[in-house]
Amino acid sequence: MTAPEMRALELRGVTLTYPDGAGRLTALDDVSMTVARGELVAVVGPSGSGKSSLLAVAATLIRPDTGRVRIDGHEVTGLSRAGTSVVRRARIGLIFQQPNLIESLTALEQLTVTASLSGRPRVSATPEALELLDAVGLSSVAGRRPGQLSGGQRQRVNIARALIGGPSLLLVDEPTSALDHERGHVVMDLIRSITRERGVGTVLVTHDTGHLRPDDQVVECLDGRLRPRRAPAPDPVHGSA
């Protein structure tokens, strides 16, 4: 069992419903999940099964109807909006499928501006931003704007940006969907190594089980419920190394 201080995310008995005509539609049904620091959990499942809802609750963007949400040991269930957003900004990194970079900013500025939105002076965030760009293999293009970067490079800037400030929880939505198979593999490997080396807990939603490895921890979302699933057999091209 993971020590409480090592838990990046804990969901307990989370139920989420949306208005649906005269009734309610249950998107998450009594979901519990723990993700330790240094651990990656891939969430797969059919369209409409609740994966995005799960990420939104873990990101503290949607409050569940019932259940508890803890981020890095901090209970957010009863917090005000302002208190929740403090926890979110300090402890959660979000990576969406489309990088959504700002066209007028260089790769380096994408990171330093994000840091400044959290109240840090841009200049003090520059060493960390440079180190993160180096970690994702982009030192040589730190001065380029998104229009001068490839799709894979843009997604790597997106990943580096999510890590500024040292979050303990990384929430990743379909990171490979805008990339070809080869670049998708590179991005998945990068997210695995960041998870391990930086000790973040990662929840990664993906349709694309072709990018998963046999040693990945995989859960399946079905009708708003989670259940463990065996990772797929190794990809014959890339193997499991």
Q: Which residues bind ligand ATP (CB under 6 A)?
A: 18, 25, 27, 45, 47-53
Tell me how crowded residue 104 is: count the other CB atoms within 10 A of its CB: 9
User: Minimum distance between the CB of residue 217 and ligand ATP, rounded to whole angstroms?
Assistant: 18
Nearer to ligand ATP, 200 or 221 (CB): 221
Least spacing, CB of residue 51 vs ligand ATP, in Å? 4
In whole angstroms, the minimum distance from the beta carbon of 50 to ligand ATP comes to 4
Query: 210 near 176, Cβ under 8 Å?
Result: no
Tell me which H or E stretch contains 16: strand 7-20
Q: Which residues of 185-205 are buried (b: 16+ CB within 10 A; e: fewer)?
A: bebbebbbebbeebebbbbbb
**Sequence-separated (6 or more) residues with CB below 8 Å from residue 190:** 136, 137, 156, 159
Helix, strand, coil distribution of the chain in percent, nearest 5: 35, 30, 35
Nearer to ligand ATP, 45 or 146 (CB): 45
Question: Considering beta carbons, is residue 115 or 172 the nearer one to ligand ATP?
Answer: 172
Q: How near is the Cβ of 238 to ligand ATP at its closest, in Å?
A: 24
For 87-105, the DSSP string reads HHHHHEEEE-SS----TTS
Report how far residue 91's alpha carbon sits from residue 103's, in angstroms, rounded to the nearest whole number.
Answer: 26
Q: If you search the block for the tokens 């001065």, which residue do you land on?
A: 143
What is the closest distance, in whole angstroms, from the C-beta atom of residue 138 to ligand ATP in the complex? 29
Q: Looking at residue 231, what DSSP letter applies?
A: P
Q: How far is the CB of 13 from ligand ATP (least distance, A)?
A: 18
Q: Which is nearer to ligand ATP, 146 or 184 (CB)?
A: 184
Q: Which residues on adjacent β-strands are paired with residue 173? A: 205
115 or 218, CB closer to ligand ATP?
218
SS3 240: coil
Taking the least distance from each CB to ligand ATP, the nearer of 13 and 48 is: 48
21 vs 127, beta carbon nearer ligand ATP: 21
Smallest gap from residue 46 Cβ to ligand ATP (A): 7
Residue 212: HSE in the Cβ half-sphere, 13 Å Cα cutoff = 24
